[in-house]
Amino acid sequence: MKILVCITHVPDTTSKIQFTDNNTQLDKKGVQFIIGPYDDYALARAVELKAETSGNITVLNVGEVETEPTLRKALAIGADEAVRINAAPKDAFFVAKQIANYAKDKAFDLILMGRESIDFNGGMVHGMVGELLGMPSMSPVMKLEIEGDKGKLSREIEGGKEFIEVDLPFIAGCQEPIAEWKIPNMRGIMSARTKPLSVIEPAEEAERTAVNSYEMPPAKGAVKLVDNVDQLVDLLKNDAKIL
């Protein structure tokens, strides 16, 4: 089975987010970049499926040269080859177009992504790629089994989950508990150095949205600590006026 996994290169979840250049750029100083946590679930499930079906995994990122260590990490976790489409990811549509252009003639059986990127949290790219390639797209997927040429999956819905059956090929936006995050071992790290990482120039595509500037939320006031529940109820009633 040929699997494509699309990964983001994003600030670690514990990062302090700040902006520079008059609030027009993310301040990358001191920020540690990781594979997006949801993309990490997608990759982990791909590695398991590859073991079950003797498949092949291509991992793809739309990004500039700085994302290559993240792609190498994905190779160390178990992807067979990496592709970087050499462009700053301008917006979800731009990224989706690049992914679709790349995938359209490669006959992937399965395209796995994260449920959402943790920088822009759109949750959009999988649906867009699905529509561009004329494939079904499901997200957020919490369980994914492949039986023959069929996928059996469960998708989280509000208050529960639903079960879906769909023929390959399709696209899934993944989230836990689809698989456990995999940590690269020494052998993986060594072999990642020699696995192919190709760089492809982007197709010319206009973005449809643009960030004019960033802004931080207002600072939170200090907590009001109380000694007993009566004082708390009083605050909820008379200060917050919510009881």
Ligand X SMILES: Nc1ncnc2c1ncn2[C@@H]1O[C@H](COP(=O)(O)O)[C@@H](O)[C@H]1O
Ligand Y SMILES: Cc1cc2nc3c(=O)[nH]c(=O)nc-3n(C[C@H](O)[C@H](O)[C@H](O)COP(=O)(O)OP(=O)(O)OC[C@H]3O[C@@H](n4cnc5c(N)ncnc54)[C@H](O)[C@@H]3O)c2cc1C
Chain residues in the site for ligand X (CB under 6 A): 6-8, 36, 38-39, 60-63, 89, 92, 95, 113-114, 116-117, 120-126
Pairing of strands 197-200, 81-86: parallel
Q: Does 13 bind ligand Y (CB under 6 A)?
A: yes
List binders of other proteins among 212-231 (CB under 8 A): 212-217, 220-221, 223-230
Q: How far is the CB of 34 from ligand Y (least distance, A)?
A: 8
Place of tokens 């690269």: 184
Q: Which tokens hold the place of 241?
A: 């006026």
Q: Which is nearer to other proteins, 67 or 139 (CB)?
A: 139
Q: Which is nearer to ligand X, 70 or 154 (CB)?
A: 70
Q: Does 167 bind other proteins (CB under 8 A)?
A: yes
What CA dihedral angle connects 185, 188, 193 and 199, to 10 degrees?
-110
Nearest residue to the partner ligand Y, using Cβ? 37
Q: How far is the CB of 203 from other proteins (least distance, A)?
A: 15
Cβ atoms of 119 and 7 closer than 8 Å: no
Among 4, 36, 37, 43, binds ligand Y (CB under 6 A): 37
3-state secondary structure of 160: strand
232 contacts which partner out of ligand Y, other proteins, ligand X, none, CB within 5 to 8 A by kind?
other proteins
Q: Which of 21, 16, 125 is nearest to 63 (CA)?
A: 125
What lies within 8 Å, CB to CB, of 24 at 6+ separation is: 211, 212, 213, 214
